[in-house]
Amino acid sequence: MTIENTPVLIVGAGPVGLMLALDLAWRGVASTVVEARPAGEPPSVKCNHVSSRTMEALRRLGLSRAVRAKGLPDDYPNDVVFRTRMTGRELARIPIPCRRDRYRRNSGPDTGWPTPEPPHRVNQIYFEPLLFARAVANPRIKILSHTRLDSAREEKEQVVASLTDLGTGETGTLRARYLVGCDGGHSTVRRLIGGRLEGDAVIQRVQSTLIDAPDLLAALGSPPAWMNYNYNPERPGNVLAIDGVRRWLVHNYLLPDETEFDAVDRDRCIRAILGVGPDFRFEKVANEDWIGRRLVADTFRRGRMFIAGDAAHLWVPYAGYGMNAGIADALDLSWQLGAVLSGWAPDTLLDAYVAERKPITEQVSRFAMNHAAGAIQERNTLPAEIEEDTPAGEAARRTVGEAAYALNVQQFACAGLNYGYFYEDSPVIGYDGEAPPAYTMHLYTPSTVPGCRVPHFHVADGRSLYDLMGEGFTLLQLEKTAETAALVAAARERGVPLTVLPINRVTDRVPDAYRHALLIARPDGHVAWRGDRIEDAGALLDLLRGASTRPATTDIAPARWS
């Protein structure tokens, strides 16, 4: 087995590994991806939600339109609905625009967000192959399918990895400057770096089945939806529309005493969730049973080896933030690896990865777990009369519907999870003492506090700020007289890519959060620094590129636009 050496070896061509490879390639860095599955073998039917934040990254990579074109039919409602059973009565509905209306509809809880790319509802079986095809076509990415990473060790500033071709049984060695394990929940790389998962091992067992049911759409108790919760005391469950025609993923939430997946009568439970009798026609395509957990690895790195995505954290997929949080890991690591391998940052920059991502994954895992606790409680306390055709039944449906809406709108309109998180204790951010605004799963307050996501706006001609930002750092000049030359010169001296972007406060639609004359955006769209003037441009840039641990001289004079 002859394998060329590579700057970055990525283990796993799941969504996280593929996004890492594509983002590195966009930054000019080549990588090799090893994947145990044969090329073309689809992933299992798991993730159904590509977050707005992930869509923003896909937009930068030129892929958001192609991703949005995948999934449910153009006019299929992306709503979340709560019914007693699929064929039963509707209790409540969270409206979410269908693909056709996604960019223009502005009513509903997940519209009008400050982004050029709202979320997209699409299953991983459509999303992942698209990433794979783009990665295969990219000259900077080499994919070794049907190849397994067996072990790896560090040697002379390199990682030496042992691989096996699973088709031929041949083994080989590959040398890389860095290795990133995006190899999922059973990660080999996590083991190699000595990482241990910590948290709650079992929160909920879910018996999931992909079914083919050509007659279900026409039999629904109310208009179609993307996600369909079913609240009845016999068997609560959740059903996802996969192709908007006949494929559905049925989640059967097992009761606490149902600890063996195979001991629960799958067919009977599916029929109860659907609300259909023994004659209703459906075929089981695949079983996708899984356990909802809340586990985060105690470390995400050892030396030149990193882990990201499910390899680093696993939690109940509430708010659709398993894959998306993993992709956020990949994007954080990508710009840092890109900077180091392009030679404009020392490898101390990479210390920021664990400092930034580990606390966020802890936070998100707790949001998801708290939500899971609320959802489990809701399912287990359904009033017995909820399906009755009586005033008591009517009242029960209203009460449960209102509660279900209030609880779940937070996870399905999770602006806070998308935009609210901030890097609070990073060694490469120029903090100025102001605390970032708190966020919840649902609520987001735009802020330019260093560490937060750069608040989005459209410039006068309608273009998105994000489309104008450079590949490296971007210096937003929000006041014409603000001095930029020293930073430009310091960047040139150090080879740091820097774009200066003049902003017109009068004509551009600048949010109130922008209170300073200058703001430096990082390559990943987080605020690196803000102020009215830069005292020592070289020192500031060295801090931001990981070349100094000395706090930057930051102008913290009261902002002029507060």
Other CB atoms within a 10 A radius of the CB of residue 369 amount to 18
Chain residues binding ligand FAD by CB under 6 A are: 11-17, 34-37, 43, 46-49, 124, 148-149, 182-184, 188, 208, 290, 309-310, 317, 320-324, 326
- CA 277 to CA 442: how far, in whole Å? 39
| 67/323 with CB nearer ligand FAD | 323
Hey, CA dihedral for 492, 513, 366, 182, is it positive or negative? negative
| 61/501 with CB nearer ligand FAD | 61
Q: How many angstroms separate the Cα of 543 from the Cα of each of 283, 406, 429, 495, 520? A: 59, 44, 7, 15, 12
- CA 2 to CA 261: how far, in whole Å? 43
The pair of structure tokens assigned to 309 is 């995505």
Amino acid at 414: C
- The minimum distance between CB 259 and ligand FAD, in angstroms, equals 18
Structural contact between residues 416 and 319, judged by C-beta atoms closer than 8 angstroms? no
| 16/454 with CB nearer ligand FAD | 16
- The minimum distance between CB 147 and ligand FAD, in angstroms, equals 6
| 116/320 with CB nearer ligand FAD | 320
Strand partners, 141: 31
Helix-helix angle 485-494:537-544, to 10 degrees: 50
What is the CB-side half-sphere exposure of residue 196 using CA atoms within 13 A? 3
| 254/323 with CB nearer ligand FAD | 323
| 216/249 with CB nearer ligand FAD | 249
- CA 553 to CA 460: how far, in whole Å? 33
- The minimum distance between CB 47 and ligand FAD, in angstroms, equals 3
- CA 261 to CA 249: how far, in whole Å? 16
| 147/474 with CB nearer ligand FAD | 147
| 310/524 with CB nearer ligand FAD | 310
Instruction: Specify burial of residue 285 (Cβ count, 10 A radius: 0-12, 13-18, 19+).
Output: middle
**Torsion angles phi and psi, residue 212, rounded to 5:** -110, 110
DSSP string, 387-406: G-SSHHHHHHHHHHHHHHHH
How many residues comprise the chain? 562
- The minimum distance between CB 188 and ligand FAD, in angstroms, equals 4
- The minimum distance between CB 206 and ligand FAD, in angstroms, equals 7
Instruction: Specify burial of residue 306 (Cβ count, 10 A radius: 0-12, 13-18, 19+).
Output: buried
- CA 35 to CA 12: how far, in whole Å? 5
The end-to-end CA distance of the chain, in Å, is: 63
- The minimum distance between CB 113 and ligand FAD, in angstroms, equals 17
| 181/430 with CB nearer ligand FAD | 181
- The minimum distance between CB 435 and ligand FAD, in angstroms, equals 28
| 124/232 with CB nearer ligand FAD | 124
| 48/252 with CB nearer ligand FAD | 48
| 46/301 with CB nearer ligand FAD | 46
H-assigned helices in 39-89: 52-60, 64-68
- The minimum distance between CB 531 and ligand FAD, in angstroms, equals 36
- The minimum distance between CB 330 and ligand FAD, in angstroms, equals 8
**Torsion angles phi and psi, residue 196, rounded to 5:** -125, 140
In the bound complex, which residue of the shown chain has the CB atom lying closest to ligand FAD? 14
- The minimum distance between CB 460 and ligand FAD, in angstroms, equals 35
- The minimum distance between CB 91 and ligand FAD, in angstroms, equals 22
Residue burial 224-257, b: 16+ Cβ < 10 Å; e: rest: bbbbbbbbbeebbbbbbbbebebbbbbbbbbeee
- The minimum distance between CB 311 and ligand FAD, in angstroms, equals 6
